[in-house]
Every structure is written in structure tokens, then in C-alpha cells.
């Protein structure tokens, strides 16, 4: 599996390219800027998590990445459902959003479980 740091960076670059391709219509730009912010924040949160000072800090930063993934999903759905971007152009990004969300949920659950085991 591709390193998650590289994967989240690639995801951010794909979001940047999508934003750059949006029309200059006000609606597209407003939604696009929100997408740009959340989509590029996913990797930033995960990269920060790699330097966490504790399991609790790691969990917090990883959950932040998960929140950004979910927000990104919302903006992608709005772009698609409003007709501003053809659904076919977003299929791969939507799949990546689903996969990243599943990965972050798994990471958080595993870390919490490990943390719980340490306390026993």
C-alpha cells in the first residue's frame, strides 16, 4: 500500500487540480474554495499526527484528518449534485475519500484499542 503521507499529498494535489478546473462562476468558486481548504487539510492533519507527542495527540490529529475528509466529501457532493461538475469527473476522488475515511477510522480505532490495552 502506498505510504499514507504520500497518498494524502497526492489527494491534496488532485483537489488543487479540480479547483483550478472549476468555472469562474461565483457558486463554483465559493464551493471550490471550501473544497480546496478541506481537501488540502487532510494531509496536513495526518502529517502533523506523525509528530504527535502522545497517543492522545495522535488520535486527535488523526480524527482532525478524518473530519477534513468528511467535509471534503460534502463539498464534492455539492459540486456534483448542483451540476457544477459532472459526476463522472468526481468518481475517483469520491472513491479516494471513502478509502481515506476508512483508513483513518481504522487507525483511530486501533490506536484507541492499543491505548486501552496499555491501561489494563
Considering the chain, what percentage of its residues have pLDDT values greater than 70?
96
Q: What pLDDT was estimated at residue 1?
A: 45
Q: So where are the chain's domains?
A: 4-119
Q: What pLDDT was estimated at residue 2?
A: 64
**Contact partners, residue 43, CB within 8 Å, separation at least 6:** 5, 8, 9, 11, 12, 65
Residues 54-83, mean pLDDT to the nearest whole number:
97
User: Which tens digit of pLDDT belongs to each residue from 82-92?
Assistant: 999 999 999 99
CA distance linking residue 31 with residue 120, whole number of Å: 47
Residues 14-24, mean pLDDT to the nearest whole number:
97
CATH superfamily of 4-119: 23S rRNA-intervening sequence (1.20.1440.60)
Amino acid at each position: 500500500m502506498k505510504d499514507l503521507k504520500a497518498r494524502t499529498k497526492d489527494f491534496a494535489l488532485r483537489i488543487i487540480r479540480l479547483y483550478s478546473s472549476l468555472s469562474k462562476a461565483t457558486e463554483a468558486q465559493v464551493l471550490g474554495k471550501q473544497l480546496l481548504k478541506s481537501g488540502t487539510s487532510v494531509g496536513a492533519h495526518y502529517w502533523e499526527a506523525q509528530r504527535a507527542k502522545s497517543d492522545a495527540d495522535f488520535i486527535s490529529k488523526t480524527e482532525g484528518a478524518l473530519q477534513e475528509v468528511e467535509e471534503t466529501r460534502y463539498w464534492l457532493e455539492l459540486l456534483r449534485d448542483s451540476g457544477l461538475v459532472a459526476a463522472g469527473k468526481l468518481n475517483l476522488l469520491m472513491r479516494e475519500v471513502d478509502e481515506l475515511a476508512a483508513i483513518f477510522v481504522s487507525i483511530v480505532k486501533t490506536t484507541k484499542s492499543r491505548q486501552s490495552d496499555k491501561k489494563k
